[in-house]
Structure 1
Amino acid sequence: MKKLLTSIAVIASLCLINTTAGAGDPKTITIVEHPGYFETQGDVFDIPAGKYKFVVKNWSGKDAGFVFNSGQNNVTTDKSSMKVILLKNGEESTFTLKLSKGNYTYFCPIIPTPPYPLRVK
């Protein structure tokens, strides 16, 4: 019985260590650009505030761009943009941002795409 309780305590401790070890790791959101639209792999609505790793892939068939802004329907590309990337066809880029509560927008400034919302609760 003592051996069983010791084993349970060790397993519980290992589970706790494993859970806290990954607590600071960013969550990944993959965004793939196609001709005229984005495909998102990962939840982008009502996500919790925190650190996010974005993987942006250009599968549009031509050179493209990616702009990430704070604000709803913010389709400007200027020095207030949080991230601006230019990608050749087939390229991908990765960046990490710490997002606080609010609305965000991403879009392509080169290939016409609608503004895509990202909401942090």
Structure 2
Amino acid sequence: MNRIAQLAAQLTLAAVMIAPAFGATPQTKNGVTTIHLTEYNGYFAAEETLTDLKPGDYDFVVTNKAGKFVGFNVQDQKSHELLGGFGLKPNETKTVRVKVGADGFRYRCPINVTPWYDVDMTK
């Protein structure tokens, strides 16, 4: 990878990591908080802010914009126990409901290799 492409990739990843801090507040309805994620080639973008979250039930609504088959896994951040996951065809959207504890959660795509996104819970 040339230096310009490498710098562009690093800036894109930095923007994706910062952007969720300015996103919408996650909505909670009937005790379930919904998080919308869009998966691209090599990264996820979150529609909502992933800060100040509390333990509880979560719906992860994931849309595949990578242009190829991808996956989604969400785990307990401390034990790495798999809480839920699935595969996604291009342009497909799926939802998984999981119970997140005080240890927080982490998510990634095991197919379209992405970094782990670690999310802490507010105590």
Structure 1 and Structure 2 fold alike (TM over 0.5): yes
Q: TM-score, normalised by structure 2?
A: 0.68
Give the structure 2 partner of residue 112 of structure 1: 113
2: distance between equivalents of 1:115 and 1:102?
15
Moved over 4 A (4+): none
**Structure 1 residue 28 corresponds to structure 2 residue 34:** yes
Q: CA deviation at 1:98?
A: 2.2
**1:94, 1:23 → 2: CA distance?**
15
State the superposition RMSD in angstroms: 2.0
* Greater Cα offset, 84-93 or 37-46: 37-46
Percent of matched pairs sharing the same residue: 31
CA distance 1:36–1:24, change in 2 (3 Å) = same
Equivalence for 2:24? none
Distance 2:87 2:109 in 1: 9
Q: Does 1 or 2 have the higher relative contact order (CA < 8 Å, sep 6+)?
A: 1
Give the TM-score normalised by structure 1: 0.69
Shift of 1:23: 6.3
- Structure 1 gap segments, 5+ residues each: 1-21, 75-79
Rg larger in structure: 1
Shift of the alpha carbon at 1:101? 1.0
Indicate whether 1:49 and 2:49 are aligned. Answer: no
